[in-house]
Amino acid sequence: MEITNVSEYEAIAKQKLPKMVYDYYASGAEDQWTLGENRNAFSRILFRPRILIDVSKIDMTTTVLGFKISMPIMIAPTAMQKMAHPDGEYATARAASAAGTIMTLSSWATSSVEEVASIGPGIRFFQLYVYKDRNVVAQLVRRAERAGFKAIALTVDTPRLGRREADIKNRFTLPPFLTLKNFEGLDLGKMDEANDSGLASYVAGQIDRTLSWKDVKWLQTITSLPILVKGVITAEDARMAVQAGVAGIIVSNHGARQLDYVPATIMALEEVVKAAQGRVPVFLDGGVRRGTDVFKALALGASGIFIGRPVVFSLAAEGEAGVRKVLQMLRDEFELTMALSGCRSLKEITRDHITTDWDIPRPRPLPRL
């Protein structure tokens, strides 16, 4: 069966993967309300396309933190990709590089920063969890710098792990043949079996619950790399992020895996964009499955989007070729959406190209009597 859209990869991944692994990738926190909402909220945004515009040439290129990429579609950090496919993060890095876009490597990758760098050129960001032992953090940041990573995406919504009931039921743990490669030499690469979720126990033991804005300042003293904060969903925190001197904000609810009943990221996006006042770029993470979703995010002020689950599901289904296809399908759909909306470049995508069900109704011209 020919795959014609991104969402079709999920069913194939479900067939192929062990239940524990599929559930880890697919599930959200508690009732999983936000998990559904991350997708559903996109359907409450409709287009106002402009017609009779010459759309014979469409330019999707953009720059992120000064790096030129082929399209505003990037790869979010997702952990433990070798559970999906033996090539894991190598395959994802190659696919991102071939597509001319950015890959973000997870702290909890099953391939190290050095291994991923070894696949060759590419613009890569490193997602960082802050461990209780700050020497571990400093060492990891230095290794990412040396391996040529261009930015740090600091995850700020995980002082504790969300309650992911599928992982509790499955007693989730990293398969014994895999390790969290970045921590292998530090004796932090293995995950113990636990009475609930092995990952929740690992986080409780290792990740620092005291993480605060002062640690963002500390991070700026140990690295010259730009720092993005990932996990901002309110105007208040967006303003604090700007004040703290971050290079960018990723609007994210951690794939609906942390606090349930937070809004969909596409719903939170505009609030954050307005609060940032154009002083830093704002990106969207969560729920993107179509090129139309990408356009909607940009119309609401995002500078680009990140995809997570589509990467691991396509990786499980077809390895590197699957990830390449996901990036290509999203690119093609986004280009078509731009053409049919009358936009030839990203700067032509405006708030007027969409209407949302939370907009104030537009005044209608009065009928002539």
Q: Is 353 annotated as a binding residue?
A: no
**Catalytic status, residue 353:** no
The pLDDT, as a whole number, for residue 197 is 59
For residue 57, give both structure tokens: 């040439």
| 155 has binding-site annotation | yes
Per-residue pLDDT of the chain (369 residues; tens, 9 = 90+): 899 999 999 999 999 999 999 999 999 999 999 999 999 999 999 999 999 999 999 999 999 999 999 999 999 999 999 999 999 999 999 999 999 999 999 999 999 999 999 999 999 999 999 988 899 899 999 999 999 999 999 999 998 889 999 999 999 888 888 988 988 877 565 556 656 655 667 766 778 899 999 999 999 999 999 999 999 999 999 999 999 999 999 999 999 999 999 999 999 999 999 999 999 999 999 999 999 999 999 999 999 999 999 999 999 999 999 999 999 999 999 999 999 999 999 999 999 999 998 887 766 666 676
- C-alpha distances (whole Å) from 222 to each of 139, 142, 145, 257 are 10, 8, 11, 30
| Model pLDDT, residue 227 | 98
78 is in an annotated binding site: yes
User: Would 204 be classed as within a structural domain?
Assistant: yes
Instruction: For residue 61, give the 3-state DSSP assignment.
Output: coil
Question: Quick check: is 344 in a domain?
Answer: no
343 token code pair: 């936009």
pLDDT given at position 364: 66
Q: Is the dihedral of CA 134, 137, 139, 141 positive or negative?
A: negative
Residue 116 lies in a domain: yes
Q: Yes or no: say if 133 and 207 are a contact pair by the CB < 8 Å rule.
A: no
Q: Which of 85, 94, 150, 254 is catalytic?
A: 254
Decide if 360 is inside a domain. Answer: no
Domain assignment of residue 193, given as a range: 6-42+63-338
| pLDDT for the residue 357 | 87
Predicted local distance difference test score (pLDDT) of residue 152: 98
Comparing CA positions, the residue from 27, 29, 38, 46 lying closest to residue 267 is: 38
CB 307 within 8 A of CB 314: no
Contact status, residue 27 vs residue 36, Cβ threshold 8 Å: no
Alpha-carbon separation of residue 13 from 34, 179, 299, 305 (angstroms): 22, 22, 31, 23
Which alpha helices (DSSP H) does 161-207 contain, by range? 165-170, 198-206
**Was 254 annotated as part of a binding site?**
yes
Please, where are the H alpha helices in 17-86?
A: 19-26, 33-40
pLDDT for the residue 358: 82
301 known member of a binding site = no
Close Cβ partners of 1 (under 8 Å, ≥ 6 residues apart): none
d(CA 93, CA 140): 19
Residue 153: its H or E element: strand 151-155
For the stretch 16-45, pLDDT in tens is: 999 999 999 999 999 999 999 999 999 999
* Distance of alpha carbon 77 from alpha carbon 44, whole angstroms: 27
Cα 162 to Cα 139: distance, rounded to the nearest angstrom: 27
Looking up tokens 């993060």 gives 89
> Which residues have C-beta within 8 Å of that of residue 124, sequence separation ≥ 6?
93, 96, 102, 103, 104, 105, 116, 117, 148, 149, 150
- Residues 64 and 74: beta-carbon distance below 8 Å: yes
Per residue in 343-353, pLDDT tens? 999 999 999 99
What tokens appear for 169 in the block?
């039921």
Whole-model pTM: value is 0.94
Q: What is the pLDDT of residue 120?
A: 92
Contact 141, 107 (CB under 8 A): no
The pLDDT of residue 188: 64
Q: Is 206 annotated as a binding residue?
A: no
Which contiguous run of DSSP H or E holds residue 318?
helix 309-341
pLDDT in tens, 279-306: 999 999 999 999 999 999 999 999 999 9
- Say how far apart CA 50 and CA 42 lie, in whole Å: 20
Considering the domain boundaries, does residue 348 fall inside one? no
Domain of 14: which CATH number? 3.20.20.70
Whole-angstrom Cα Rg for the chain:
20
Whether 361 is in a domain gets the answer: no
Rounded CA separation 302/132 (Å): 33
- The total domain count for the chain is 1
Q: Is residue 357 in a domain?
A: no
- Per the domain annotation, does 134 fall within a domain? yes
> In this predicted structure, what is the pLDDT of residue 367?
67
